[in-house]
Amino acid sequence: MINYTAPAADIKFVIEELFDFYSHYKKYPAFEEVTPDLVDMIITECAKFCESELTPLYQSGDKEGCQFDNGKVTTPKGFKEAYQQYIEGGWHGLSHPVEYGGQGLPQSVGLIRTEITATSNWSWAMYSGLTLGAMNTLLEHGSDEQKVTYLHKLTSGEWTGTMCLTEAQCGSDLGQVRTKAVPNDDGSYDVTGSKIFISAGEHDFTDNIIHIVLAKLPDAPKGTKGISLFIVPKMKVNADGSVGESNHVTCGSIEDKMGIKASSTAVINFDNAKGYLIGEANKGLEYMFTFMNTARVGTAMQGVCSAELAYQISLPYAKERLSMRSLSGTKCPDKVADPIIVHPDVRRMLLTQKAISEGGRAMIFYTGKIVDQLEQATDEEEKARLDDQLGFMTPILKAFLTELGLESANLGVQVFGGHGYIKEWGLEQVVRDARISTLYEGTTGIQGLDLLGRKILMQRGRSLKAFAKEILTFCKNHSMISDNVHKRRMNKFIWPLSKAVVNWQQYSLRLALRARKNRDVVGSASVDYLMYSGYITMAYMWAMMAQKANEKIAEKPDNIEFYKAKVRTAEFYFERILPRIKTLSTTMMANPKSLMRLDEDSFSFL
């Protein structure tokens, strides 16, 4: 059975020392009660619940899967009971407004809960995770009446929520949506259509599910400009807030999937179901991005969770498994062979997993701080700046971290060798579960187009310029310090990072100029450009972590080995992983002609 231990020390390092969240919280009256003691309690209690209740359900839930019978879904044994414990513990509404029954804590604190629950059991965590996106959409764009009707029970977890975007004929091309919403005299709409791939679309946790649905009005403009967003509950809601009769929302089937088998991925059919318009007509795509940004940051977290879980499974095995002798001389002469952790290639894999999980965690919480700031901002100019920054980071986090999370899971299988292919150890499940993360909420290709096409070219590099300035300022500050010992220790990080950031800006400009002449440049370069951007962003995180760790090492604390491990992992990242940008810089700048020369008919294998 898989064992998972919440990485409390590393989470605290990131929020306390790396990003100084407590000074950040003191800036906002709404967060003044967020203290180290409170956060410590949240980490401890959440870890206790997840390690004892959720982790044991991870493999059994995968083996049993969800069961579908005549429109009803039964989740694996123990899932429903664990959910009840979760909402009774108040975990669900941790970061949502007090006025709707939440605890009003920062979104960044909510990320702690999300990481621990999701790493312990990703399939289970999806049921509550999708609800958070629905809640955020209603908070941002719903009417006062809609908030009163739905948010109290969504916050408590008495009801769950989904987002219903995808249809059989369209994935990310939402302009092809066919679901219709016909207005009624009472202000409601009759929604008719079918949505597929709806995570947590049907289950036995709650007696109502609130679907957030993209649909088109009869007179809507063509394409994405004609999409509206609707609230469509599974069961009608009575005037007193109780659950009423069926709203003609049914589950047609659940998908037989490669992974996340304990999470129901449903086909949801709407047959003249009563729906309620969110905000203004034909602005659904704009509103949807509130949901999508929430979901994409959550999906990015899956990359970190996959890397962390794979590492926690791989490391004990590597320490215990005996195979061959060390090339540099026997390390354990009293044993028949040395443990495989002595072999350089095994260390390469373990260090890659460690670098990904810890570097990815820093990227997530860096963005969580931006989310807090955006939530509390009152100045419109500041809001716009923070929104730009969040929009820039989101595709990088979502695509880069999920791709690396999948890499980490695959490396875990490799550490185990043939045993990794066997279900007993759990790593093949981590691989299967991680695979979807690179696909949902927009594939890596879609995220690449979003980053290069929208966030770089359409914004003329505004967000990149601001982020690059931040990184270069950090580099400058730590290359000019008077402490020569600290300066010497940091140079190995500062100069490669500075060079990479300057090149990042130059390559972005060159791609923009090329794209003016040939739009295929954007599509051919976008994924490589995104990964290039991700490696540099993670390098910035590791440089900051090395700087903080070196400062602590100079103080000679009792846990000095923790900080030494940070520096050594940062060195590994800069020497062994960051150089991947050299290949990416070549491929992303390559002429797209080699992709487009082959005639479509020539692809045939007949």
Q: Which residues are identified as catalytic?
A: 441
CA distance 340 to 320: 8
Crossing angle of helices 122-141 and 55-64, rounded to 10°: 100
Contact 530, 444 (CB under 8 A): yes
Cα-Cα-Cα-Cα torsion 215, 171, 518, 509, nearest 10 degrees, comes to 90
Closest CA to 201 of 131, 139, 96, 295: 131
Q: Which two tokens stand for residue 54?
A: 């959720």
CA distance 475 to 496: 10
Crossing angle of helices 284-320 and 122-141, rounded to 10°: 150
Q: How far is CA 506 from CA 383, 425, 499, 589, in A?
A: 28, 46, 11, 11
CA distance 262 to 55: 13
Cα 169 → chain centroid:
26
Contact 278, 141 (CB under 8 A): yes
Q: Which two tokens stand for residue 452?
A: 């290069």
Q: How far is CA 453 from CA 90, 396, 546, in A?
A: 41, 13, 33
| H or E segment to which residue 546 belongs | helix 520-554
Crossing angle of helices 380-416 and 520-554, rounded to 10°: 80
CA-based torsion, 7, 8, 11, 12: positive or negative: negative
CA distance 144 to 209: 20
Q: Which two tokens stand for residue 409?
A: 């899971």
Tally of CB atoms within 10 A around 462: 15
Contact 398, 440 (CB under 8 A): no
CA distance 305 to 122: 8
Crossing angle of helices 107-120 and 36-49, rounded to 10°: 20
- End-to-end alpha carbon distance in the chain: 47
Tally of CB atoms within 10 A around 183: 15
Cα 507 → chain centroid:
27
Q: Which two tokens stand for residue 101?
A: 């029954």
CA distance 392 to 190: 37
Contacts of residue 122, Cβ cutoff 8 Å, sequence gap at least 6: 260, 263, 302, 305, 306, 433
Please return the burial class of 313, using the count of CB atoms within 10 Å of its CB with bins 0-12, 13-18 and 19+: buried
